[in-house]
Structure 1
Amino acid sequence: MAPATQFEVAQPPNDAISSLVFSNDSSHRLLVSSWDKHVYLYEIVDEQANLINKYEHRAPVLDACFGANNNEAFTAGVDQQVKRCVLNRPHNRRANPPKQALLPRPLRSLLPHPLPPHLRLLGLHPPHPPPLLPRLPPLVIPLPGKPHALSSSPTKLVVAMTARLVHIYDLPTLASATTPPPPWQTRESSLKFLTRAVACMPNDAGYATSSIEGRVAVEWFEDTPESQARKYAFKCHRQAAPEEEGGGDIVYPVNALAFHPVYGTFASGGGDGTVALWDAEAKRRMRQYQKFSEAVAAMGFSGDGKYLAIGVCPGFETGMEDYTGGLGRTRVFVRELGETEAKGKGAK
């Protein structure tokens, strides 16, 4: 059995991490977006993650995803633009990706490939279509509230919004739509406070959400009494307060969720600087990793489940008065998992 190892990427971002994602067809390319107005591309080789390029933007970058292959990426952020990056450029060459779309508001999230050709981005202009397919007009999906997080499974798209609203869209329906269809399902979040993250199960069965109040909820797509009776929520990412401060719990936001692509277990990362691994079916915590020096801001598993990337940076858990950015404190770790480390109780 191969033991787990963990290493740190060289030359991390200089400010808070907004997202990180592995490429679709390689477990060795990692894309990280940051509030320092850059997107970073790392290559993992022999237990090292080295910076091979970075791409400058005009404003903080809030999300990034790979495109049709590991040499193409799309980015979005505060500059209200979706941009396409060509990743096989010489190291340290300043990139000026062509404008892909300009919208009236900052862009929060992108959907990773693969999805139907014109649904790579929610409500935005489509990327270039494959050969023999026509360029379709953008499918703009109006939302009743500000979106905080979104995630997709093979056939579903989950959008978590303000006022505890959750819309679930059927991707095959969207793929054939010329006008925005209604949501496949509309739900109220099982969590009482603001949603921080959402992640869909890789087996297309359901999703998990997390909140600023140290809780995670697990739900299933099937809208039957039996299926809905299975949903549950639990407390996590809390620490006992000192007795001299009155005791009780110090509650931290759960900033990141990620499902393992092979075993279907999931990881959560919180403002307490810890990462925990959970078995959704057995409703139990499998393990909790070491405490990091800063809050966990983003996480992602590689497509083969071999690596878990963890982005840590200063959060606002103690207020914003003394926040000076993440220079010297923002770090990215990559954990190479043991062979059965993420395997749940009922996994084969």
Structure 2
Amino acid sequence: MAAFGAAPAGNHNPNKSSEVIQPPSDSVSSLCFSPRANHLVATSWDNQVRCWELTKNGASVTSVPKASMSHDQPVLCSAWKDDGTTVFSGGCDKQAKMWSLMSGGQPVTVAMHDAPIKEIAWIPEMNVLVTGSWDKTLKYWDTRQSNPVHTQQLPERCYAMTVRYPLMVVGTADRNLIVFNLQNPQAEFKRFSSPLKYQTRCVAAFPDQQGFLVGSIEGRVGVHHLDDSQISKNFTFKCHRDNNDIYSVNSLNFHPVHHTFATAGSDGTFNFWDKDSKQRLKAMSRCSQPIPCSTFNNDGTIYAYSVCYDWSKGAENHNPATAKTYIFLHLPQESEVKAKPRVGTTNRK
């Protein structure tokens, strides 16, 4: 697969994406779409959880702020309930909140940890919420109860998590990758070291649950199959690099229809890839700031991404009062996200 060659830094919106109005006042930490409608939630370092209602108009998207709620400290993660009525969020205040957004209810605390909550997911097949924390635990919650139904010890702090029932993959500090079969969630299915040499930043389960992607701070993605008989299909590739400059891969998202995937990085670009043909389908123009997070809507017709400071240069280099934060909405063309027929040799590395 070809190494990524970044374009020169330009304006904040070189891809002419639609812009979400009234964005957060500080960096965006997560984005997630409702599984039932084009409602987009963003969590941010200004302690807020915000929701917009989006409407597609031809080649553009308009956004209307719908509601917002607060945590006591920066919010790091978010997830929707499968019925599209409720949003979950977790963050540096060490608690997860449940917000019945569609009914206008007040947020309530449904989970607690001893350190910030980095990852959160609703698992409809189990009717539980799972939270991953820097306290080195995973906790499963029945939201009607104050105590977790199960606490799973992790070897290190939780940095990344992906769930496609029955597969769950957790990436922790020290490059640990822990695989769980959620039909037996109290036991690890498999644990191994990341195929990448540096810190894990993001993971994404294959749509068919047969493996996962892992991205790291070294500008590289690993494609890993769980079945040992498929080991020959495992590979890694370079991306989000500009000559000698190497940037973090911050986000991995599979397209819900075509099952290709997007990467977004600290170089301010996002790209679409096909893992099966080992090809990059489309390289987008470089924004003026990093892209910390991104997500597809439920039918893959909208790709949301944030452009803002990503903390890679430390808190001392960030001033929320002067920094700009953006959320953009890209409408992928089919040619950008649908795998091309395999003809002749592949472009691989």
Q: Name the TM-score, length of structure 1 as normaliser.
A: 0.85
Tell me the distance in 2 between the aligned counterparts of 1:235 and 1:326.
35
CA distance in 2 between partners of 1:117 and 1:326 (Å)? 41
Q: Tell me which residue corresponds to 1:52.
A: 66
Q: Confirm or deny: 8 A CA contact 1:203 1:264 kept in the other structure.
A: no
SS in 2 for 1:334: strand
Quote the residue 2:270 is aligned against. Answer: 275
* Residue in structure 1 matching 2:49, options 4, 21, 39: 39
Aligned to 1:72: 86
1:317: Cα distance to partner? 4.4
Q: Structure 1 CA distance, aligned partners of 2:147 and 2:341? A: 43
For the structure 1 residues 108 and 213, does the alpha-carbon distance in structure 2 shift closer, same or farther, using more than 3 Å as the test? same
Corresponding residue of 2:77 = 63
Q: Could you tell me which of 138, 152, 161 is aligned with 1:150?
A: 161
The one-letter code matched in structure 2 to 1:336 is L
Residue 230 of structure 1 pairs with residue 240 of structure 2: no
Shift of 1:228: 1.1
How much has 1:327 moved relative to structure 2? 5.4
Percent of pairs with identical residues:
30
Deviations 1:96-148 (A, max 9, x none): 5112122211111001443411354453352447xxxx999521111111111
Distance 2:311 2:167 in 1: 32
User: Counterparts in 2 of 1:50-199, with a 5 A limit?
Assistant: 50-88=64-102, 97-121=107-131, 123-128=138-143, 138-174=149-185, 180-181=186-187, 183-199=188-204
Q: Name structure 2 gaps, 5 residues minimum.
A: 1-14, 133-137, 343-349
Deviation at 1:11, TM superposition (A): 0.5
The offset of 1:276, in angstroms, is: 0.8
Deviations 1:255-275 (A, max 9, x none): 111111111111111111000
Structure 1's unaligned 5+ residue stretches are: 175-179, 241-248
- Contact 1:253/1:270, CA 8 A, preserved across alignment: yes
Question: Which amino acid letter does the alignment assign opposite residue 175 of structure 2?
Answer: R
Partners of 1:150 and 1:157 within 8 A in 2? yes
The answer on whether the counterparts of 1:154 and 1:202 sit within 8 Å (CA) in structure 2 is no
Give the match's secondary structure for 2:121.
coil
- Give the CA RMSD over aligned residues: 2.3
Aligned equivalent of 2:207, options 172, 178, 202: 202
Shift of 1:287: 0.9
Deviations 1:142-180 (A, max 9, x none): 111111101012320001112211110001122xxxxx2
Instruction: Flag the 1:341–1:326 CA change in 2: closer, same or farther, 3 A.
Output: farther
Count of residues in Structure 1 that have an aligned counterpart in Structure 2: 319
Match of 1:6 among 13, 17, 24: 17
- 1:15-34, aligned counterparts within 5 Å? 15-26=26-37, 28-34=38-44
My pick for the range that moved more, 75-84 or 43-52, is 43-52
Q: For 1:31, what is the secondary structure of its paired residue?
A: strand
* Cα distance in 1 between the residues matched to 2:66 and 2:262: 27
| Structure 2 CA distance for partners of 1:317 and 1:119, relative to 1, 3 Å | closer
Q: In structure 2, do the counterparts of structure 1 residues 155 and 345 end up closer, same or farther at CA, with 3 Å as the change threshold?
A: farther
